Structure 1
Amino acid sequence: MKRSEKAHRILAQLEGFYPETPVPLDHTSPFELLVAVLLSAQTTDLRVNLVTPDLFRKANTPAAMARLEVDDILASIKTCGLAPTKAKNIRRLAEMLVEEHGGEVPASLEALEALPGVGHKTASVVMAQSFGVPTFPVDTHIHRLAARWGLSNDTTVEKTEADLKAVFPRETWNKVHLQIIFFGREHCPARYHDLSTCPICAWASSKTRQAQEKRRDASVAKKRRPQSPGRP
């Protein structure tokens, strides 16, 4: 089956699973979304949604955030991974938005990527969800599933993004990237997942891939298994 044919079938299945795709990060403005996505690196969306209400009560605009001390920001986000660095980046990006963009979040991928702590994925999420510009943000779930499904060769995130853009219609990108994330979280985890019983992997992944992952999981489980008393 060609990749484009496979993507068409996957798209139909994902639409059945997730006809609606709410953005997982709570926000009310492009600035709040930008900060929330920045915070989500090495942190769960659930944790981000727990800390942002307190942060946004203190400041929910670039001008207000720029007036906060870094320690004030850190106090709200300290349970997030890499919190000290993120607090500094949030303060500095708020200052840059005020100084260089009139206190607004720019609708430009390049301008967003120039902000501290904002990588390509973060910028792509903001462009897609705040400004409706077709992008295909690739996170760990998407990278993993694209390889499992044979839609990409599992080399780099950049290659995965290009491969997925090539097989999914442009008008679906902003929705399907969320559908894949939801599917990965709920139905297709990274470890101890029998691909042969998965609604999509069962037909989309190769027999070789299924066998490789089964051997890997068995090997990991064996290493973690406690040794019997008396064994060296």
Structure 2
Amino acid sequence: MPSLLQRKLMQVKPEDAYENTRTLTTTTDKGHYLSLRPLINPTAEQEKFPFESLFGGLNNTVSISNIDETTIKQDFSFGIHSNRVLGLPMQDAAVPTVWKTWESGDIQETGTVHPFGLDKEGVDFVELWQPLNAEAYQSKDDFRVGFTAENARSVTLKIDSKEFYGIVTIVGNIVQGLLQKKENPSISCIRCVVDSETLRFKKYEIKFGESLLQFPSEIPESLVVGSFIHGWEVIEA
């Protein structure tokens, strides 16, 4: 089912927990996902890339299995990741994570990453996620805590050309997009909402990168899988 999750806590053990980003993760009904993690107060040096990280992938880049009624295991290999694009340390193998839903509805994610190689010491982490209602989302200051309906709008666009690889997810009202330039690698991203009447994108919270003009700026009233929007293929509608 489609979902919108807001991260509320990050802990890299054994350090204290913190949250210095405005992280939202969108997952479509088919399991395609994007996680954009902008820093709330980036330093002057961080302004060049004001994010903790940016990543996502199609559903063939994540393996999901049930552990029990409230816990699942998800192993991510990522179709696009800012660390890979920017040449930063990153685990080559899939990253195993465990997601446990609490009675409150919040979701605890735990895992271990090995950015310098599986033969090196790993880094244990914990993240806490709060579900938001994607159909009620209007902005970072106007949203509703709660789950997204199973029948909420769930759209995925993909581009894979000689120049670019990218994914756009539209879940309920919220749009997130991530685009990698293949030659002279760079990464661009957007976060905004869909106007309920015009279906144009508006209220941009994130517009970053040199390839912003490549993103679509609206969706048609009728979406057909296999059709194209400004060069982006509709792979879920």
- For Structure 1 versus Structure 2, the TM-score category normalised by the shorter chain is under 0.3
Give the structure-2-normalised TM-score.
Answer: 0.26
Structure with a larger share of its residues in helix: 1
Structure with the bigger percentage of strand? 2
TM-score (norm 1): 0.27
